[in-house]
Each structure stands twice: as C-alpha cells, then as structure tokens.
C-alpha cells in the first residue's frame, strides 16, 4: 500500500469520523466537493449537498456512537479508496464498505456506501 495514499485517506477518514461523532454536519459537508456523487446505498443516490445535509441531520439525536474503519485498498493514481467500516450505536451495529474517490484537493467526488 502506498504510504502517501494511505496517509491521505486516513486523514480524510479521521476528519469524517470525528465530525460524525461530534455531530458537526458542516465539517462533514466540507469533506465533499460541491458536485459529489453520493450514494447512501447502491440504489439511493443523494442529489445535492442540501439533500446530503438533510441525510446527515439524522445523526443529531443519536448518542454513544462509535465508528471504526480499516483501509482495504488504495489506488493513488486515480485517488480511489476502499474502506471497511463498523458502526455501533446503542448496542446495535452495522458494517460495510465505503468506495471513495478524492480530487486533488482531497475532497470526495464519489462516495458509495454498502452494507454487509
């Protein structure tokens, strides 16, 4: 795994997870480009950042959230990454993968979430 690519996506994921746990939706949205192609599931594409904000507002009432991740694969040439994630909240858990593409400013231009 390329160390630079690993460093880039690890920093992005740390920012993503920290903003999530802190319920800081503005900081979550700052990680995504204005024209991001964001898929909440493989069949549910979120149209724009306003809809993305509404989606993320669902985390506001959640307590005791924990998210962990593992970098599975990096493609530094194309800035594409596969992340395995695990989320726990109130004793319930879910897991899956994120498929992420970053631009040269390290903003996410493509985000697909799958569940296992």
Q: pLDDT per residue over 3-54, tens digit each?
A: 688 999 999 999 999 999 999 999 999 999 999 999 999 999 998 899 999 9
CATH number of the domain where residue 84 is located: 3.10.450.50
Between 114 and 5, the more confident residue is 114
Global pTM? 0.93
Closest CA to 15 of 32, 33, 27, 3: 27
Closest CA to 80 of 12, 21, 26: 12
Range of the domain at 103: 3-115
pLDDT of residue 1 exceeding 80, the answer is: no
pLDDT at site 90: 87
Render pLDDT for 51-101 as a digit per residue (tens, 0 to 9). Answer: 999 999 999 998 889 999 999 999 989 999 999 999 999 889 999 999 999
pLDDT of residue 111 exceeding 80, the answer is: yes
Q: How far is CA 76 from CA 3, 29, 40, in A?
A: 10, 23, 24
pLDDT of residue 2 exceeding 60, the answer is: no
C-alpha to C-alpha distance for 66 and 17, rounded to whole angstroms = 9
pLDDT at site 13: 98
Q: Please state the domain count of the chain.
A: 1
Tokens for 8?
Answer: 């880039």
pLDDT at site 42: 92
Average pLDDT, the chain: 94
C-alpha to C-alpha distance for 72 and 12, rounded to whole angstroms = 15
């Amino acid at each position: 795994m390329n160390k630079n690519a690993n460093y880039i996506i690890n920093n992005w994921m740390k920012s993503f997870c920290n903003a999530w746990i802190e319920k800081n939706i503005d900081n979550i949205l700052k990680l995504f480009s204005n024209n991001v192609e964001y898929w909440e599931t493989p069949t549910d594409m979120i149209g724009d950042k306003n809809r993305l904000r509404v989606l993320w507002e669902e985390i506001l009432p959640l307590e005791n959230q924990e998210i962990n991740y593992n970098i599975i694969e990096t493609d530094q040439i194309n800035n594409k990454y596969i992340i395995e994630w695990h989320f726990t909240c109130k004793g319930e858990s879910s897991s899956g993968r994120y498929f992420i593409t970053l631009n040269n400013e390290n903003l996410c231009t493509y985000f697909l979430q799958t569940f296992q």
